[in-house]
């Protein structure tokens, strides 16, 4: 059994690294006690869920089983946790309200998209990736990041962004979702048993930036100081 997984990992090193590198920010959050900050607590939950989903997907892929269902189901959950992080960082109450509303609406939208993209929902073997939801998730997350950047520039409360943990989290997410935003809708056609389009190296770009994103998360969490947070 272990041989199947190890041989899959050797055959697909980049996606495997992208799965297990999640452990790095996860461990750092615990070690640096970053979970004291509610945003980082949500990031911890997000990373745990992401790791679980990725491991399940890796096992399914190694056993030649369709794992797209997990990819689809993870989309609204990811947005709920990532968006939730911004809930605690925004100052504006109207933005907070809009964020909560967007999470609820996005859950409904993803559910519709899953059904819309799969006419035979019970046929898990031929289950396909959502057509719009992943792209919309990317657009929403990028919007939240830009709004947060606008707020920090406007408030002028952070003297050095390079030592501000959440700036690294935002930068990592911005790079990852920017790399994925154009590829996401194409996955509906390519991530199937019989793909009609071969994306080649383009498909590895989001994987590379998933790793970069995890590294950015780690740098941000490394800069987190529990003592300084307690003083705030």
Partner 1 sequence: MQNSEELKWALLIASLAMLTMAFCMISFVMYYQKRRFEEEKRISDIEKNYNRMLLDTALNSEETERRRIAQDLHDDIGTMLSLTKLSLNQLSKMVGNSGNEKEDQIMKKSQTLVEETILHVRRITRDLVPTTLERFGLMEAIEEFIHKLEEDNNLAITFQANTDDFPRQGQKLELTLYRIMQELVNNAIKHASCSKIDIRLEINDQMIGLKVTDNGVGFDPEKIKENNLAGLGLLGIESRLAIVNGTVQYEKPEKGGASAFAQIPMMPVSDSKPEPLHPFRRERVNI
Positions touching partner 1 (CB under 8 A) are 146, 149, 152-153, 156, 158-159, 161-162, 167, 171, 174-175, 178-179, 181-183, 186, 197-202, 205, 209
Nearer to partner 1, 35 or 188 (CB): 188
* Nearest-approach distance from CB 143 to partner 1, in angstroms: 12
Whether residue 208 contacts residue 16, with contact meaning beta carbons closer than 8 Å, is answered with no
* Nearest-approach distance from CB 133 to partner 1, in angstroms: 18
Whether residue 35 contacts residue 67, with contact meaning beta carbons closer than 8 Å, is answered with no
* Nearest-approach distance from CB 72 to partner 1, in angstroms: 21
Nearer to partner 1, 55 or 152 (CB): 152
CA distance 129 to 26: 27
Nearer to partner 1, 24 or 152 (CB): 152
DSSP string for residues in 57-125: HHHHHHTT---HHHHHHHHHHHHHHHHHHHHTT---HHHHHHHHHHHHHHHHHHHHHHHHH-SSTT--T
* Nearest-approach distance from CB 174 to partner 1, in angstroms: 5
Whether residue 75 contacts residue 81, with contact meaning beta carbons closer than 8 Å, is answered with no
CA distance 112 to 115: 5
Enumerate residues 6+ apart whose C-beta is below 8 A from 60: 66, 67, 70
Nearer to partner 1, 59 or 147 (CB): 147
CA distance 165 to 163: 6
* Nearest-approach distance from CB 62 to partner 1, in angstroms: 26
Nearer to partner 1, 34 or 145 (CB): 145
* Nearest-approach distance from CB 171 to partner 1, in angstroms: 5
Nearer to partner 1, 31 or 146 (CB): 146
DSSP type of residue 83: H
What does the angle CA 53 – CA 55 – CA 60 come to, to the nearest 5 degrees?
95
């Amino acid at each position: 059994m272990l041989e199947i997984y190890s041989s899959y990992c050797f055959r697909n090193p980049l996606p495997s690294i992208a799965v297990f590198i999640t452990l790095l920010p996860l461990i750092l959050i615990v070690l640096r006690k970053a979970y004291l900050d509610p945003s980082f607590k949500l990031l911890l939950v997000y990373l745990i869920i992401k790791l679980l989903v990725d491991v399940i997907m890796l096992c399914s892929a190694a056993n030649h089983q369709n794992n797209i269902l997990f990819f689809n189901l993870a989309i609204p959950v990811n947005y709920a946790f990532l968006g939730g992080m911004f809930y605690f960082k925004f100052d504006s109450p109207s933005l907070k309200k809009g964020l909560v509303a967007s999470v609820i609406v996005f859950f409904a939208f993803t559910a519709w998209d899953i059904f819309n993209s799969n006419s035979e929902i019970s046929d898990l073997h031929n289950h396909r990736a959502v057509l719009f939801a992943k792209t919309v998730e990317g657009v929403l997350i990028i919007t939240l990041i830009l709004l947060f950047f606008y707020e920090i520039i406007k408030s002028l409360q952070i003297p050095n962004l390079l030592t501000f943990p959440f700036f690294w989290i935002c930068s990592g997410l911005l790079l990852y979702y920017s790399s994925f935003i154009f590829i996401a809708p194409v996955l509906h056609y390519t991530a199937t048993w019989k793909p009609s389009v071969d994306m080649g190296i383009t498909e590895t770009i989001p994987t590379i930036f998933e790793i970069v994103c995890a590294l950015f998360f780690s740098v941000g969490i490394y800069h987190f100081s529990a003592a300084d947070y307690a003083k705030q």
